[in-house]
Amino acid sequence: MSSSTIKHLAIIMDGNGRWAKERGFKRTKGHEVGAENIRDITTYCAAHESIETATFYAFSTENWKRPKLEVEFLMKLLDKYLKKELETYQKHNIRFQAIGNIDAFSKALQKRIRDTEEITKKNTNLKQILALNYGGRAEITDAVNKLLQSEKKHVTEKDISQLLQTPYEDIDILIRTSGEERISNFLLWQLSYAELYFSKTLWPDFTSEELDNILKQFTQRHRRFGGL
């Protein structure tokens, strides 16, 4: 059995609300602790010998359906997170990038996102991607519409890949926490040949040790990509 190398890790961070409910806290407390956990997992990835990109599903296009107060809290939490994490990005040589339609956010939050991208754009140790107001179908649809506008007569997979927000970045492994087993409209194109892991651990309790064990299992998998 041949081993596999991981370059791009994606995580659906699920279970913040349940984590808080189990402890008698408000859902917002779970989101706070979950945001702190992103730092631990990101710094682990930055120290990993082969991981180049770590993509976290932070806010989906469907999350707007949540109660207004919770959505408002999440927006404030994101702004606070990026302000606080800038030091971590610089210390560990991490480049930050956002994917998704951030035009729906406040002007101040949009500026925070773009400023963080600009300040960290030359960092090379790891790229941390946060999917914000992101949906996989919307991303593919946007790419197709751009191709229609270009009046191309024939479209290839490469054409579509180039117009995605994470071009040429297929996912090696997708992890979803909290025991749910679905991909929830996340990176649909890029997940074509990804290995999938579903952890029963709620996101605030998901540790770098558990991640390390999952990645060790991954290296023992033989990825055929449709071949033998």
Q: Which residues have a catalytic role annotated? A: 14, 63
Radius of gyration of the chain from its Cα atoms, rounded to whole angstroms: 18
For residues 120 and 95, give the distance between their C-alpha atoms in angstroms, rounded to a whole number. 5
Contact criterion met (CB below 8 Å) for 220 and 196: no
For residues 41 and 130, give the distance between their C-alpha atoms in angstroms, rounded to a whole number. 13
Q: How many CA atoms lie within 13 A of 118 on its CB side?
A: 6
Residues with Cβ within 8 Å of 171's Cβ and at least 6 positions away in sequence, in order, are 8, 9, 10, 55, 187, 190, 191, 194
User: What phi and psi values does residue 140 have, to the nearest 5 degrees?
Assistant: -70, -40
Closest of 42, 108, 98 to residue 75, by C-alpha: 108
